[in-house]
Amino acid sequence: MTTSITSSATQTIISAGGNPSALVIENGGIVSGIGKNKIINGNFAINQRAVSGTVVLAAGAYGHDRFKAGAAGCTYTFATLENITTITISAGSLIQVIEGLNLFSGNVVLSWEGTAQGKIGTGAYGNSGVTGTAVGGTNLSVEFNTGTLSLVQLETGSYKSAFEHRPYGMELSLCQRYYEYITISSTGASTTGMGLTARYMVEKRAVPSITRVNSWQTGNEVGTIVGTVDMFGFYMRQPGTSIAVGGQFTVSAEL
């Protein structure tokens, strides 16, 4: 079997047995594959809040999963073609805060497709390929100003590489660590009420804020909602017998 090594400024390709893509090492030691992109939902495929049309966000409010408006708010539209979603920011900026738990100390590079400019932390705006420094265990923000934006990636090293396309289900689970929409229900025969509990699809990064957004039974009252990182419970008054009770809840542990 013949083995060859081809190097460039951005990657080293180790070929074996006639397969030129057997192993690709990028950015001085990072092997291409799942996990190199520290941005979550960089393709904007996950939209649990179901934003649509012209999205107008107040400062700090979230639109597509893991992306929130900057200090001046954000206005954007979006379109999807062949599974690639492109955001068009017409005012303000979009930010993603990367959890420090997913970062290690060293150089990082931010890349994307589109006309928007981006920056890392408090650094200066620039075109795709902006570099900066991460500190392991410390949250790090990336921010984009007006223009088009898609395929956002932050990775270790000083050279940008091809965007990491993760499976949809994996990307959804990564998003649900920070935000989830839950529908729960139960049927009982108590004339006074019942306690309900729900387990999240994904354990949250911290004890989340839980908000009831709808109920199926007018007049039902929810007592104090008690949550942990993996489940929550509450008491719902049931003014009748053998009726269904429940509702919809948002669970947020966003940064």
CA 91 to chain centre: 21
Write the pLDDT tens digit of every residue in 158-215.
Answer: 999 999 999 999 999 999 999 999 988 776 656 667 778 899 999 999 999 999 887 6
SS3 101: helix
> Per residue in 192-206, is it b (16+ CB within 10 Å) or e — as a string?
ebeebebebebebee
C-alpha span between 184 and 201 (Å, rounded): 12
Question: Poorest-confidence range of 65-79, 118-132, 171-185, 220-234?
Answer: 220-234
Element (H or E) spanning 168, and its range?
Answer: helix 168-176
For residue 4, pLDDT beyond 70: no
How many alpha carbons fall within 13 Å on the CB side of residue 170?
10
Residue 21, pLDDT score: 40
Pairing status of strand 55-57 against strand 147-156: unpaired
Write the pLDDT tens digit of every residue in 100-147.
Answer: 999 999 999 999 999 999 999 999 999 999 999 999 999 999 999 999
C-alpha span between 159 and 141 (Å, rounded): 19
Quick one: tokens of 11? Answer: 């990657």
Pairing status of strand 84-98 against strand 68-81: antiparallel
pTM: 0.86
C-alpha span between 220 and 198 (Å, rounded): 18
Most confident segment among 33-37, 124-128, 218-222, 230-234: 124-128
Name residue, tokens 């893991």.
Answer: 66
Q: What share of the chain is helix, strand, coil (3-state, %, to 5)?
A: 5, 50, 45
Residue 32, pLDDT score: 53
CA 46 to chain centre: 8
Across residues 19-23, what is the average pLDDT?
A: 42
Q: Which sign does the torsion angle of CA 15, 16, 19, 25 carry? A: negative
Quick one: tokens of 102? Answer: 């997913």
For residue 154, pLDDT beyond 90: yes
CA 61 to chain centre: 14
C-alpha span between 37 and 15 (Å, rounded): 24
The answer to whether residues 79 and 149 touch, using CB atoms and an 8 Å cutoff, is no
C-alpha span between 108 and 111 (Å, rounded): 10
C-alpha span between 101 and 88 (Å, rounded): 30
